């Protein structure tokens, strides 16, 4: 029986997918969207930016699956390329936020005299409603893929830093850390051997949530005109352009909306099941 309660919980992806069909579906959806994004040029698409590749306002047809927008761009093409923008933003923001948040959280949790100041700055950043901070940053620096990524990262990393810090503080209280101190381990050693392994699970789950959040914020920013440049095909931009005519041509708004929702939902479901898998105690 003893190996059952080993502290290192094995994490079997195959078992999770068999037990949770919803998660399996979410993984499939996410993979499909990744496939779309990567192979967009070879999936029967035209030029996503050039005008007049389709008749203006064309209805969905065999040739133009999702129809076309008011300046004659094939919607199917633009939605596929839009997946690229969302995924790039999602990946970049989650990776950078986790790295920065981890570094700041560790420093804050380990170095007592810096803790107060760092946390006040994090509190301040978190007091600005996320979309508003991102809007301000993009509007002022100027809209590009880089600035959108930077802006959303600034919104997301303080939460990671706070969580990592809280985790450091709670792990520090454990007997094994005290034991490590007693046998003469230095702080960097303790962080590396004890605190970091105990933080990885938390970070994996957060990566998923930040990914989902980043996709949503990017679309929101583009939608209100503070995102990637308007000619870039991103789901938020396509919806923003479709806004004027959406009562006549709801597809231009609703199709990218459906893709956006599926992507966010899939990533959130994956995040939830990662959370449950890594922390079975929390069953609600």
Partner 1 sequence: MLIYCLKRILSTIPVMIVVALCVFSLLYLAPGDPATVLAGEQASSAEIEQVRIALGLDQPFPLRFVEWSKQVLSGNLGVSIFSGIPVLELIRQRLEPTIALMITSTIISVLVAVPMGILAARHHNRLLDRIVNVVTALGFSVPVFVIGYVLAWIFAVHLRWLPVQGYSPISEGFADFLRGIIMPAIVVAFSYFSLITRVTRSAMLDVMRQDYVRTARAKGISERSVLFDHALRNASMPIVTVVGLGVALLISGSLITETVFAIPGIGRLTADAILRRDYPIIQGVVLLFSLLYVLVNLLIDLLYTLLDPRVNFQ
Binding to partner 1 by CB under 8 A, coded x per residue (else -) over 76-115, reads ----------------------------------------
Contact with partner 1 (CB under 8 A) among 99, 131, 180, 196? 131
CA-wise closest residue to 205 among 11, 6, 8, 4: 11
Distance in Å, CB of 272 to partner 1, minimum:
8
CA-wise closest residue to 220 among 130, 158, 140, 144: 130
Instruction: Pick the stretch among 51-59, 62-70, 124-132, 179-187 that binds partner 1 (CB under 8 A).
Output: 124-132
CA-wise closest residue to 207 among 250, 178, 251, 164: 164
Instruction: Pick the stretch among 2-10, 35-43, 189-197, 248-256 that binds partner 1 (CB under 8 A).
Output: 248-256
Distance in Å, CB of 278 to partner 1, minimum:
18
CA 55, 59, 61 angle in degrees (round to 5)?
90
Q: How far is CA 160 from CA 148, 150, 266, in A?
A: 19, 15, 21
- Per CB under 8 A, 247 contacts partner 1: yes
- Per CB under 8 A, 139 contacts partner 1: yes
- CB 104, CB 163: distance < 8 Å: no
Give the pair of three-digit tokens for residue 136.
């301000």
Binding to partner 1, residues 151-180 (CB under 8 A): none
Give the pair of three-digit tokens for residue 257.
């909306």
By CB under 8 A, the count of residues binding partner 1 is 43
Instruction: Pick the stretch among 78-86, 103-111, 118-126, 183-191 that binds partner 1 (CB under 8 A).
Output: 118-126
- Per CB under 8 A, 229 contacts partner 1: no
Instruction: Pick the stretch among 64-72, 82-90, 106-114, 224-232 that binds partner 1 (CB under 8 A).
Output: 224-232
Task: State the helix-helix crossing angle for 75-110 and 112-126, rounded to 10 degrees.
Answer: 150
- CB 122, CB 162: distance < 8 Å: yes
Give the pair of three-digit tokens for residue 145.
């893929």
Instruction: Pick the stretch among 38-46, 61-69, 70-78, 266-274 that binds partner 1 (CB under 8 A).
Output: 266-274
Q: Residue 223: exposed, middle, or buried by beta-carbon count in 10 A (0-12, 13-18, 19+)?
A: buried
- CB 36, CB 29: distance < 8 Å: no
- Per CB under 8 A, 135 contacts partner 1: yes
- Give the interface with partner 1 as residue ranges (CB under 8 A): 120-121, 123-125, 127-133, 135-137, 139-142, 212, 216, 219-220, 223-226, 239, 243, 246-247, 250, 253-254, 257, 260-261, 264-265, 268-269, 272, 284
């Amino acid at each position: 029986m003893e190996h059952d309660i080993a502290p290192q919980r094995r994490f079997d992806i195959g078992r999770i997918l068999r037990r949770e069909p919803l998660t399996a579906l979410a993984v499939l959806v996410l993979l499909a969207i990744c496939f779309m994004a990567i192979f967009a040029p070879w999936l029967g698409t035209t030029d996503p930016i050039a005008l007049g590749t389709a008749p203006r306002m064309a209805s969905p047809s065999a040739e133009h699956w999702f129809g076309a927008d008011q300046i004659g761009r094939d919607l199917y093409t633009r939605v596929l390329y839009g997946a690229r923008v969302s995924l790039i933003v999602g990946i970049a923001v989650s990776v950078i936020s986790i790295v920065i948040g981890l570094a700041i959280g560790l420093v804050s949790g380990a170095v007592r005299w810096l803790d107060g100041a760092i946390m006040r700055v994090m509190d301040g950043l978190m007091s600005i409603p996320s979309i508003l901070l991102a809007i301000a940053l993009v509007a002022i620096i100027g809209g590009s893929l880089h600035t959108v990524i930077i802006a959303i990262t600034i919104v997301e990393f303080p939460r990671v830093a706070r969580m990592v810090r809280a985790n450091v503080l709670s792990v520090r209280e454990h007997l094994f850390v005290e034991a490590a101190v007693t046998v003469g381990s230095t702080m960097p050693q303790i962080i590396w051997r004890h605190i970091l392994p105990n933080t990885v699970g938390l970070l994996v789950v957060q990566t998923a949530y930040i990914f989902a959040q980043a996709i949503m914020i990017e679309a929101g920013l583009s939608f209100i005109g503070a995102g990637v440049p308007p000619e870039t095909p991103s789901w938020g931009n396509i919806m923003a352009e479709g806004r004027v005519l959406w009562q006549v041509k709801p597809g231009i708004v609703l199709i990218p909306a459906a893709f956006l929702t599926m992507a966010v939902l899939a990533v959130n479901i994956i995040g939830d099941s990662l959370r449950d898998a890594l922390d079975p105690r929390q069953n609600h």
